[in-house]
């Protein structure tokens, strides 16, 4: 190729790259403006009436409150819990309101074969799940070296691997119909490490990684055409009984969150298609700012707040 043609090709390629860079800058500016606009004018909450919502860990706490509130919004609610008696109580409460249909299934979500088997029953008896809320979790509070091997494995089986089995069971039908929403409960302990919760923190960090990567994989695989939404929730300490010995220096300023308030904010985040949401909402901004500060500054702030959990023997 003659020298002048090579120069022209290089110039043309350089112009294309420059155009792409300018387009990227415009897109970034647009989405920043859109985000600022949405901060002041929140998106309208979409209807969940007629959706089939499956929630794990519905026997008590956040899971139970989620089931009650989704039912009140007209969704068909599928309740999964290992404790069949408590799960039936949740469903019976929903049925008393006559708000919507509700069904109880006993399932150990850490058991892949059981998850796939019960999921097949749900599909045959009720239909395809369109909103999946992976809520079930456990939170033993010990110093790291006091955790037993079995306890650590159980934390990851329930808090992490169960999410994989649930996705394997229900994501394919969502992809087939190009309709669905996955909600996963991580924790503020999935954004920042907390003493006496080392395995728990690691499991909740893993949930964040799972949700970010599966969402991005689906987006790129469909070239942005996927309509399946993903929402990751990071609750502050919720008064469900899992947190046995919370440690809070200023309890009036940062009180424990009630299960009802947590459920309301989770559903609002799902209905407005938030990708990430902390409960309360201000924690997400605080954690982002904290990552930008020097380590010593963050440690000083943590020492001042004295917020965490004490070990349980």
Catalytic residue, chosen from 70, 103, 105, 200, is 200
200 catalytic per annotation: yes
Instruction: Tell me the C-alpha distance between 83 and 251, whole Å.
Output: 32
Q: Under a CB-based contact definition with an 8 Å cutoff, are residues 130 and 181 in contact?
A: yes
Instruction: Tell me the C-alpha distance between 110 and 107, whole Å.
Output: 9
Instruction: Tell me the C-alpha distance between 155 and 204, whole Å.
Output: 10
Q: What's the number of CA atoms in the CB half-sphere (13 Å) around residue 19? A: 6
In Å, the largest CA–CA distance within the chain is 83
- The residues assigned a catalytic role are 200
């Amino acid at each position: 190729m003659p020298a002048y043609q090579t120069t022209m090709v290089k110039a043309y390629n350089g112009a294309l790259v420059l155009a792409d860079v300018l387009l990227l800058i415009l897109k970034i500016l647009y989405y920043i403006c859109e985000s600022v606009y949405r901060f002041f004018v929140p998106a309208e909450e979409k209807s969940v009436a007629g959706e089939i919502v499956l929630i794990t860990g519905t026997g008590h706490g956040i899971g139970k409150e989620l089931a009650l509130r989704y039912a009140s919004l007209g969704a068909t609610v599928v309740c999964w819990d290992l404790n069949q008696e408590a799960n039936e109580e949740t469903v019976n409460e929903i049925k008393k309101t006559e708000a919507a249909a509700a069904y109880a299934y006993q399932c150990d979500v850490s058991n892949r074969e059981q998850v796939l088997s019960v999921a097949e029953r749900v599909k045959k008896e009720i239909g395809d799940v369109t909103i999946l809320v992976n809520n079930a979790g456990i939170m033993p509070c010990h110093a790291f070296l006091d955790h037993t091997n079995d306890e650590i494995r159980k934390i990851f089986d329930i808090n992490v691997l169960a999410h994989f089995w649930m996705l394997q069971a229900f994501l394919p039908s969502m992809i087939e119909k190009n309709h669905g929403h996955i909600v996963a409960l991580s924790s503020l302990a999935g954004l920042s490490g907390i003493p006496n919760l080392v395995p728990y923190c690691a499991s909740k960090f893993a949930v964040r990684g799972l949700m970010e990567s599966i969402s991005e994989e689906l987006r790129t695989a469909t070239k942005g055409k996927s309509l399946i939404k993903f929402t990751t929730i990071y609750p502050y300490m919720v008064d469900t009984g899992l947190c046995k010995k919370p440690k809070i220096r200023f309890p009036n300023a940062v009180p424990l969150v009630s299960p009802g308030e947590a459920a309301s904010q989770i559903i609002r985040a799902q209905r407005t298609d938030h990708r990430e949401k902390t409960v309360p909402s201000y924690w997400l901004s605080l954690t982002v700012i904290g990552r930008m500060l020097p380590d010593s500054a963050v440690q000083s702030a943590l020492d001042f707040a004295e917020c965490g959990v004490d070990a349980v023997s």
